[in-house]
Amino acid sequence: MHTRDGRPHGTDGDGDNDRDEDGGGCWLPWRTAAERALYGDSSGNGDGRSGGGFFVREAPAAHFRTSVHASPLFALAVARLLLHVDEALGRPRELAMVDVGAGRGELLTGVLEALPAGAAARVRPYAVERAPRPDGLDERIVWSHSLPAGARPYGLDGSNGPSAQGSSAGGLTGLLFANEWLDDVPLDIAETDADGVPRTVLVRTSDGAERLGEPVTGPEAEWLERWWPLPPPEGHGAEPGLRAEIGLPRDEAWAAAVATLARGLAVAVDYAHFREDRPPFGTLTGYLDGREAPPVPDGSRDLTAHVALDACAAAGARAAADGCAPPVVRTQRDALHSLGIDGARPPLSLATSDPPAYVRQLAAAGEAAELTSASGLGAFRWLVQPVGGTRSPFG
């Protein structure tokens, strides 16, 4: 599906006039192509599909499975984390729970169900999602296409977009949680040419074919040099064909999310990599109907790439107020263990004394084991940024 002819090719920035008469579609930088395919263009239309982009039309659960869909224990863990934040903040009159990249509201629904009644009565739940509000969603949930009060003027993709609601910076008190959001923030891709020069990769929207565009310059080049150098520091030359996913839009998006809080915790959960161990050929892929698929930006599928979480962490730390504790990164396995989700099996004696309870606890142990598996969901990383002096349960 992905073909490269290796020759540089120009673009006017949005690529609308750079059409390919043989293959159809147009040649665009990956960030622009993915933004249109996933979220639609400025008029709300997706690339080649009616009704807007992939995430505007499609329920994510129909195409890929996250921890939220794997077990209600994940929502229970988030509810416990929210209660920790509530206690650390002195049980404020209103406690924000912001779910960024909320899908169809499954996580917030589960959190509200898991909370004690007294705490639930003080929670102000926000779902931030580009799709329309689902029918039948709990009426307590505020549904928004942009970050709530306090956000910087970035859209969900990290680009300049609709301003957030509200005018005062950092107005919320509570927990902001972004589960598998950053990996869907579109970004540009760089690849070294025959001379070892990093160039912007252009993609044909109709079939995912690729070719090289202009050299990477400006802030994107600075980001590459700091966070994903091509060639890597241990390399011995400028090898052609090395790829990097330029995470600057994700850094900006995460900083904007952190900036919504005056006090509390901001948490991002995603598959991640770090500067000392970047994948040499990138991680871009697609998901369609529950299976991994080639990344074609035609609006038919999810497009995702792993997150340079160390870069996001640095950006979030800068967005937090002076004097805040530094961010920490934990595996999901460790984070969930800290929140009481550990996959421990019930005692065999329970099978005799209370067989139904034993069956229920055994099933829950199996679900917890999936969420914490070191070779699966448990290997995800939790990036935790305290804001306003809030104590984190993760150290």
What value does the mean pLDDT take over residues 147-157?
53
Identify the pLDDT of residue 349.
Answer: 84
Mean pLDDT calculated for residue range 84-104: 96
Secondary element (H or E) of residue 338: helix 332-338
Length of the chain: 395
Q: Are 81 and 267 in contact (CB under 8 A)?
A: yes
Confidence band for 167, pLDDT divided at 50, 70 and 90:
very low
> Is residue 2's pLDDT more than 80?
no
What is the tens place of the pLDDT at every residue in 24-41?
A: 679 999 999 999 999 986
Average pLDDT over residues 178-199: 96
Whether 359 has a pLDDT exceeding 90, the answer reads: no
* Percent over 70 (pLDDT), the chain: 83
Pairwise pLDDT comparison (134 vs 64), residue with the higher score: 134
pLDDT at 23 (0 to 100)? 52
Average pLDDT for the chain: 85
Q: In terms of pLDDT, which residue wins out, 317 or 6?
A: 317
Q: Is the pLDDT of residue 375 over 50?
A: yes
- Burial state string for 167-194 with b = 16 or more CB within 10 A and e = fewer than 16: eeebbbbbbbbbbbbbbbbbbbbbbbbe
Render pLDDT for 196-235 as a digit per residue (tens, 0 to 9): 999 999 999 999 999 999 999 999 999 999 999 997 666 5
The first and second tokens of residue 281, run together, are 């050929």
Per-residue tokens: 258: 């952190």
What pLDDT does 345 receive? 84
Least confident range of 184-193, 224-233, 375-384: 224-233
Q: Which of 53-62, 159-168, 315-324, 375-384 has the highest mean pLDDT?
A: 375-384
What does residue 303 show for φ and ψ, rounded to 5 degrees? Answer: -125, 125
Confidence of residue 157 (pLDDT cuts 50, 70, 90): very low
Question: Which among 152, 58, 143, 153 has a CA at the least distance from the CA of 102?
Answer: 143
Residue 108 has pLDDT above 70, yes or no: yes
Among 179, 77, 87, 167, residue whose Cα is nearest residue 127: 179
How far apart, in Å, are the Cα atoms of 333 and each of 191, 231, 309, 351, 374? Answer: 34, 33, 17, 27, 7
The yes-or-no verdict on residue 264 having pLDDT over 80 is: yes
- For residues 300 and 81, give the distance between their C-alpha atoms in angstroms, rounded to a whole number: 35
